[in-house]
Amino acid sequence: MHVAENKNCDLFNGRWVPDFRGLLYTNQSCSTIPNSKNCGKHGRKDTDYLNYRWKPYGCELHKFDATTFLSIVRGKTLAFIGDSVARNQMESLLCLLSQEVTPIDMYKDSDDRFRTWYFASHNFTIKVVWTKYFVLAEERVINGTHTGVYDLHMDKLDTNWTNTLPGVDIAIISSGHWFFRQIYLYEHGNMKACIYCNAGNISNVSPGFAVKKTFRLALKYINDCKECGNLLTLLRTFSPAHIENGSWNTGGRCNRTHPYSEKQINLGGSEWTLRNIQVQEIERAKKKGKSRGKRFGHLDVTKAMLMRPDGHPDIHWDSQWMHGYSDCVHWCLPGPIDVWNDLLMAELRKEDNIVLDDSGEEA
């Protein structure tokens, strides 16, 4: 019999504890692992960072189980909508699921930013949908050179992701890192504010200001979407980077080999500020969505990942675009990012009123 999940269990508040039970997959056993996240292949020798699990206070987070997950999502389409960190979670999920079923690679665009994978045995589809900001964004190009400076139209959504929503059953939305750069914000075609621009004629605002406005607009669209059916939208909160002794292009590194304790992290920094904004916006959308048949929730990974400076590729990766630089934004596979899909499975079980016993079997 299905019973309700324990509502007093806060899966997002806890600590990392040693765990030597073994991995669900390795960088060799996962056939879909991307080269850029295959840290072991690119020279990472330490393995202690793999021997931890997330332990919520007062309860347990069950380890990912591919059979259970696939039974929950049978006949459904799940879309990861966001930037390359959203894709990183999709890559983790593929590795976890491919130990049970080999997916079919259905689609890849020319830039390898839009992907579709299909699990024929369960009629289950996974998509990754690229969007940096959720709103219309235009990079300034001078004499054919990309500047990294963006114009964001805060009242116009990026149709690359909105056009994919009909037919999606579960949407996991996320973004954040792209807001930490020089950006000019527009409404109705007029420049209203900027981030990191130091212009005297317009307001200089924080990245959080733009994150709040873009997520509010995106969530409003989802709430108003008549073609989206009984869509479940989960917002994955901001995933922190860890870089020390420089920036990504000036020799900065993220080469720690052990997690932080709770006392070592800063819950007053920009990462936590963005997390709070995102949680507030998803709760706001949840209230509005109750009468519209829309469902909202969140995967609050920020605190857990603030404690994992040891989980990034650092120099142990390969990219044709930025070879030689440290990657302190994305996460090694396998690695601490796999907990995001433990949490995803827990949230989907909660939606279906499924609870597991101590052995991981359905109660």
CA separation for the pair 221, 319 (Å, rounded): 35
Q: List, in sequence order, the alpha helices (H) in the chain.
A: 66-72, 84-98, 159-162, 207-224, 270-289, 302-306, 338-351
68: domain CATH number? 3.40.50.1110
Q: Distance between CA 10 and CA 169 in Å, rounded?
A: 25
Q: Is 35 inside a domain boundary?
A: yes
pLDDT score, position 13: 96
Quote the pLDDT of residue 324.
67
Domain extent, residue 337, equals: 14-351
Q: What is the pTM of this model?
A: 0.93
Check residue 318 and give its pLDDT. Answer: 78
Is residue 175 included in any domain, yes or no? yes
pLDDT for position 113: 87
pLDDT computed for residue 322 by the predictor: 57
Bridge partners, residue 327, by sequence: 314
Residue 186 counted as domain residue: yes
pLDDT score, position 242: 95
- Asked, for residue 3, whether it belongs to a domain, the answer is no
Residue 363 belongs to some domain of the structure: no
Q: How far apart are the first and last CA of the chain?
A: 7
Instruction: Tell me the torsion sign for CA atoms 15, 21, 22, 23.
Output: negative
230 burial (CB, 10 Å; 0-12 / 13-18 / 19+) is: exposed
Q: In a structure prediction context, what are the per-residue pLDDT tens digits for the chain, which is 363 residues long?
A: 333 345 568 999 999 999 999 999 999 999 999 999 999 999 999 999 999 999 999 999 999 999 999 999 999 999 999 999 999 999 999 999 998 999 999 988 888 889 999 999 999 999 999 999 999 999 999 999 999 999 999 999 999 999 999 999 999 999 999 999 999 999 999 999 999 998 778 999 999 999 999 999 999 999 999 999 889 999 999 999 999 988 877 788 999 999 999 999 989 899 999 999 999 999 999 998 887 888 999 999 999 999 999 999 999 987 655 566 899 999 999 999 999 999 999 999 998 765 555 555 555
pLDDT of res. 251: 81
pLDDT for 45 equals 94
Alpha-carbon Rg for the chain, nearest whole angstrom, is: 20
Q: What local confidence, expressed as pLDDT, does residue 1 receive?
A: 30
Cis peptide before 336 (omega within 30 of 0): no
- DSSP structure class, residue 290: G
Is residue 130 situated within a structural domain? yes
Q: What is the domain count for the chain?
A: 1
In a domain, 6, yes or no: no
In a domain, 5, yes or no: no
Point out the residues that are catalytic. Answer: 84, 327, 330
